[in-house]
Amino acid sequence: TIAVYNYKTGQILCAVTTPTFDPDHVPDIEGDTTGAYEGAYLNRFTQVSYTPGSIFKIVTAGAVLESEPTLAEEYFVCTGAHQIGPDVITCERAHGTQNLKDAFLNSCNCAFAQIAIELGGETLKQYAEQFGVTDRITFDGITTAEGNFEAANAALNVAWSGVGQYNDQINPCAYLTFISAVAN
């Protein structure tokens, strides 16, 4: 799904979701064995929630700036991998020593994992809820799918939550309204 949105007015200029179909030639979805039309009746922009990935780092960074501002000045080391017990959080490359600003610019999973652990699962959940990123929103008679954020307890799960993985689920339209608020 792709959407173009005027962040100043809240107007959705365009939203596209695939797969799609020609309404003049409605496919036989029940008889389709190719899977080409699976989900063709879903508007993924409004009706589905997804694992957000790195865009969730905006929520994590916001939580730091509001709840633990001194954490923004601490430094975190990224060697390309961050060991948490027997498990590893990875980055596309080693970013070296960086603070929150640098980690955000680099979209560094290793630094954000460490930051998330410092914040804790409950704080991340509090800010996900406060920022409304898991809420249903309604506009023009359409209500979006609800998202989900679990307050993980285990360090590995908290780390993955802070980088937008684990069991986080965000609806694209609802998240876009949050990003617009940040932009404004």
Q: Which of 182, 177, 162, 157 is nearest to 64 (CA)?
A: 162
pLDDT given at position 149: 93
Alpha-carbon gap, residue 22 to 161, rounded angstroms: 39
Q: What is the mean pLDDT of the chain?
A: 93
Measure the CA–CA gap between 156 and 134, rounded to whole angstroms.
22
pLDDT at 96 > cutoff 90: yes
Residues 111-147: tens digit of each pLDDT: 999 999 999 999 999 999 999 999 999 989 999 999 9
What's the whole-number mean pLDDT along residues 84-110?
97
**Whole-angstrom distance, CA of residue 41 vs CA of residue 182:** 32
Neighbours of 184 (CB within 10 A): 8
Is the model's pLDDT at 169 over the cut of 90? Answer: yes
Find the mean pLDDT for residues 156-177. Answer: 94
Predicted confidence band of residue 38 (pLDDT cuts 50, 70, 90)? confident
Report phi then psi at 78, rounded to 5: -120, 115
At 59 the pLDDT is: 97
- pTM, entire model: 0.88
pLDDT at 35 over 90: no
Average pLDDT of the segment spanning 92-116: 97
Q: Distance (Å, rounded) from C-alpha 15 to C-alpha 46?
A: 10
Compare 29 and 103 and report the one with higher pLDDT.
103
What SS3 class is residue 63? helix
Least confident of 4-13, 19-28, 162-171: 19-28
